[in-house]
Amino acid sequence: MKGLSRVAPALAMALAVLVSGCASHQGLPENAKNQFVTEFYAYVGHVREVQFESYVPEASVFGAAAGAIQSVNDTEHMFAAAIIGGALAGLVTAIAEGDRTGYEYSLHAVDGDRVLVLVEDKTALQGECVLVRVAGDVYLHPVADEACRNPYPYDYQSVPYGDNPAPTAGEI
């Protein structure tokens, strides 16, 4: 029984991780309420990899200061506490930030506009037609080339977000 008590927490943790993968979200995030939304079709002109800013240096300085302050009464270990505090704060921040790689898309909208968009994921390749949805955040969805060649017969019934179709001219 003693061996089971050591394994039980690990099993519970593994089960929690596996079950949490089943909890997926289908709707829009809460902060998407009352947003101005615009959509347009565009061709991807070019894609360039970019790096988003990191806060690791600031966190390291803060962690070093906190470590030094914590050991202000123990001057022998103050320097070591500052190094450990800085390293720990920097490490935790780096883990929380994750991958800071993003992508800058140069888009050529079908109405002639040129748009630059910065996104986290590489969802489309050069030359592809994409549906661009701007609603606080920017979403790029690759679509068939036909959508860029003939973008105006827009079917509001097929929009994946929401169940309310747009009103017809007679209903306005």
Mean pLDDT, rounded, of the chain: 77
The answer to whether residues 41 and 151 touch, using CB atoms and an 8 Å cutoff, is yes
Cα angle 96, 21, 8; round to 5: 90
The pTM for the full model equals 0.55
CA neighbor of 108 nearest in space, from 94, 78, 137, 128: 128
Least confident residue range of 77-81, 126-130, 134-138 = 134-138
Joined tokens for residue 169: 């001219």
H/E element holding 44? Answer: strand 38-51
Residue 160 has pLDDT above 90, yes or no: no
Q: Specify the pLDDT at position 156.
A: 45
Query: Mean pLDDT throughout 107-118?
Result: 89
Residue 5 or 112, more confident: 112
Confidence of residue 139 (pLDDT cuts 50, 70, 90): confident
> In this structure, what are the phi and psi dihedrals at residue 157, rounded to the nearest 5 degrees?
-70, -25
Q: Specify the pLDDT at position 77.
A: 83
CA dist 47 to 102, 119, 122, 123, Å?
10, 11, 8, 10
Query: Mean pLDDT throughout 44-52?
Result: 91
